[in-house]
Amino acid sequence: MTEEELAALPYRPCAGIMLANRDGKIFVGQRTDNQNSPWADCWQMPQGGVDKGEDPQAAAHRELFEETGIPPELATILAVSEREHFYDLPDDLLGKIWGGKYRGQRQHWFLMRFVGDDSAIRIDTKDPEFRAWQWVDAGRLTELIVPFKKEIYRSLLKEFSALI
């Protein structure tokens, strides 16, 4: 693809979940698909695409279940981000992932409270996206995430910090 074609690509609709436990720690997972990349040691919060015609809130609960096994009744929505958040893929991924159809993501974020026991978390799902998971202090999120998503995580922490 030419630079002009890449720049004209749309953003992929996405829902992201900042899942906080009762102790105020945040769920993060290590992706299965980046083990041989420079970001193999990075962690992220659950997120995924919003299907055509799907409500972002429904997508958030679906993605959370698909990635962690956590059903909607164990994740109470506390807040929704005031605006969509956008990020661009780095050059080495642009045109390669998501079938080369998107330049990055436009994300609706949801702060959810996990009200279950850790035994309900099952990353060994049908199509695993995470190879490991942990609860971390919210203040560590920006040091754990891939560089191209840091600004989004900073913004979410600022917006959701009072409720975490």
Residue count of the chain: 164
Taking residues 52-59, report their average pLDDT: 97
Q: Residue 108, Cα to own-chain centre: how many angstroms? A: 10
pTM of the model: 0.94
Taking residues 113-140, report their average pLDDT: 96
Strand 104-114 versus strand 25-31 pairing type: unpaired
Q: Please state, in angstroms and rounded to a whole number, the distance separating the CA atoms of residues 15 and 64.
A: 10
Q: In this predicted structure, what is the pLDDT of residue 92?
A: 80
Say if CB 109 and CB 103 are below 8 A apart.
Answer: no
Tell me the residue type at 148.
F
80-118: pLDDT as tens digits: 999 999 999 988 888 778 888 999 999 999 999 999 999
Tell me the residue type at 22.
R
Q: In this predicted structure, what is the pLDDT of residue 139?
A: 95
Taking residues 22-41, report their average pLDDT: 90
pLDDT confidence band for 40 (50 / 70 / 90): confident
Q: In this predicted structure, what is the pLDDT of residue 72?
A: 97
Beta bridge partners of 16: 47, 109
Taking residues 63-76, report their average pLDDT: 98
What is the C-alpha end-to-end distance of the chain, expressed in Å? 42
Q: Please state, in angstroms and rounded to a whole number, the distance separating the CA atoms of residues 111 and 66.
A: 17
Q: In this predicted structure, what is the pLDDT of residue 100?
A: 87
